[in-house]
Amino acid sequence: MTSPSTAHVDVLIIGTGSGNSIPTREYDDLTIGIVERSTFGGTCLNRGCIPSKMLVMPANRVVEAEEATALGVHFDPPRIDWPSIRDRTFGRIDPIAEGGEQYRRGQPNTTVFTGDARFTGERAVRVTAPGGATTDVTADKVVLAAGASPIVPDIPGLAGTPFHTSDTIMRVDSVPRHLLVIGGGFIAAEMGHVFGSLGCDMTIVHRGARMLRHEDPDVSERFTREFGRRARLHLDTEVVGVEHSGGTFRLVLSPAPGHQGPDCPTDVTGDALLVTTGRHPNGAELEVEAAGVKLDEDGYVLTDDTLLTTASNVWALGDIRNPLQLKHLANREAKVVSHNVVHPDDPMHLDERVVPHAVFSHPEVASVGETETELQERRQPYRVGKRAFGDTAYGWALEDRSGFAKVLVSADTGLILGAHVLGPQAATLMQQMAQAMTFGLTAERVAKEQIWAHPGLAEVLENALLDALDD
């Protein structure tokens, strides 16, 4: 057996998503090691938010053409060129990933280690390359940025079948005729929108009573209703068995525990299966506890607000530490870590109080701050303001009949505690509420001290705030 080679670096970064942005000019005099077991650039670039949004765009165009009938405009049925859609997406992305790796390998102070990393001790890892060769790497400082991986549930018969996860579904050779989806979260919502719009029959099987269950209840309920117009939804239902034969999947179904499952058939069939039952952080897989890094009960790396872990000179960022698993938050975390690694005596602190997010499905969903459920659980007095898109001039123009904005305002301070939008341009609208919350503006000031463009879609926010103020 060949002995492992050895290496020592000043800073070792595990993961090349947001972790790849850690080295700045302040690192030019340091030796850097970067470990990556897959494609350079991480989940967001290669198999997450960027390719999925590039696929959402043509799906949106199909839906807009369908909805144009209400505006008096009629289109012929669209011709879907999936290879062109897919190749446009990855023809843009793959060269970026390749170029990022080549750039790092070309830096004189940087060594790229390809393979799986496992901690063997304090700031010490063994990297196993695809061919089996190993390298033992030690470092003065370590950054954990290894992300998360799809959860594959323990369903009888699932293992060994050619099912897809979010890692693989976007690169399929053709649009499935009938896609079965297990799960009802944001991946199911976005990929269901993509493939359903491009001509695929959709069946979604979800253990919960509503899709997007982590959203505000009003949003989750409305989204489930609207999405159910375009896909078969089997809610309060679980998959108890998977069969695959002759290119056909068969899911054996049962009512979820504690539910009657009135719409639960005994089985459903399709020619492709997408599993979207969540993503788990990769800390345990890296065996970080061997380095003194503690995990919480869900497997996320524990850090303080400087993103320092429980081990000396080990920091963590991104999906490995944060259950929100949002790229924009990981990017902010990377800036904090990048500074703190080289300036440990003058650390930056991460403020996670206001973190917006969006689901790019149809209808689009965006949210920031707390939900009504969360406010009720902590007994926070609050006021609710709501406004339908269709009650504004721009909403009339859109002929929108489902979208709405909802704001939650502290009854004590007048500060905005949460905002939730379902409908066109939800993600863009949400940033205005995130800005107001970040800078501590009251609902009164946001609604009344600025001039809102008329007739603009943002008026739905203005009117929701005024509703909360009973004005």
**Do residues 368 and 337 both lie within one domain?**
no
Q: Is 351 part of any domain?
A: no
Residues 285 and 323 in one domain: yes
Cβ burial of 381 (10 Å; 0-12, 13-18, 19+) is exposed
Same domain, 273 and 288: no
Work out the burial of residue 466: count CB atoms within 10 Å of its CB; fewer than 13 is exposed, 13-18 middle, 19 or more buried: middle
- 259 annotated active-site: no
The tens place of each residue's pLDDT in the chain, 471 residues long, gives 567 899 999 999 999 999 999 999 999 999 999 999 999 999 999 999 999 999 999 999 999 999 999 999 999 999 999 999 999 999 999 999 999 999 999 999 999 999 999 999 999 999 999 999 999 999 999 999 999 999 999 999 999 999 999 999 999 999 999 999 999 999 999 999 999 999 999 999 999 999 999 999 999 999 999 999 999 999 999 999 999 999 999 999 999 987 765 567 899 999 999 999 999 999 999 999 999 999 999 999 999 999 999 999 999 999 999 999 999 999 999 999 999 999 999 999 999 999 999 999 999 999 999 999 999 999 999 999 999 999 999 999 999 999 999 999 999 999 999 999 999 999 999 999 999 999 999 999 999 999 999 999 999 999 999 999 996
Q: Do 144 and 9 sit in the same domain of this protein? A: yes
Q: Is residue 300 part of a domain?
A: yes
For residue 198, give the H/E element and its range. Answer: none
Both tokens assigned to 323: 């259950």
* Nearest alpha-carbon partner for 200 in 223, 232, 248, 235: 232
Q: Domain of 222?
A: 169-277
User: Looking at the domain assignment, is residue 258 inside a domain?
Assistant: yes
User: Does residue 155 fall inside a structural domain?
Assistant: no
Looking at the domain assignment, is residue 56 inside a domain?
Answer: no
The pLDDT of residue 447 is: 98
Q: What residues form DSSP beta bridges with 437?
A: none
- Chosen domain end from 259, 277, 295: 277
Does one domain contain both 394 and 269?
no
| Rounded Cα distance, 169 and 161, in Å | 14
Same domain, 315 and 174: no
Kindly state whether residue 350 falls inside one of the protein's structural domains. no
Token readout for 291 is 């380095």
Of the listed 214, 343, 349, 454, which one is catalytic? 454
Residue 405 falls within a domain, yes or no?
A: yes
- Based on the domain organization, do 310 and 272 belong to the same domain? no
Read off the pTM.
Answer: 0.95
Distance, in Å, from the CA atom of 296 to the CA atom of 359, rounded to the nearest integer, reads: 27
Domain boundary among 277, 307, 323: 277
Supply the CATH number for residue 224's domain.
3.50.50.60
Q: According to the model, what pLDDT value does residue 135 have?
A: 98
Q: How many domains does the chain have?
A: 3
CA distances from 254 to 51, 146, 157, 181, 413 (A): 34, 36, 15, 15, 48
239 plus 293 within the same structural domain: no
Taken as a whole, the chain contains a residue count of 471
Q: Within a domain: residue 259?
A: yes
Last residue of a domain, one of 277, 295, 312: 277
Residue 434 carries which side chain, given as an amino acid letter? A
- Backbone phi, then psi, for 249, in 5-degree steps? -95, 140
The answer to whether residues 209 and 253 belong to one domain is: yes
- Residues 273 and 293 grouped into a single domain: no
Q: So what's the pLDDT on residue 260?
A: 64
CATH of residue 439: 3.30.390.30
One domain, residues 189 and 263: yes
**Is residue 106 located within the same domain as residue 45?**
yes
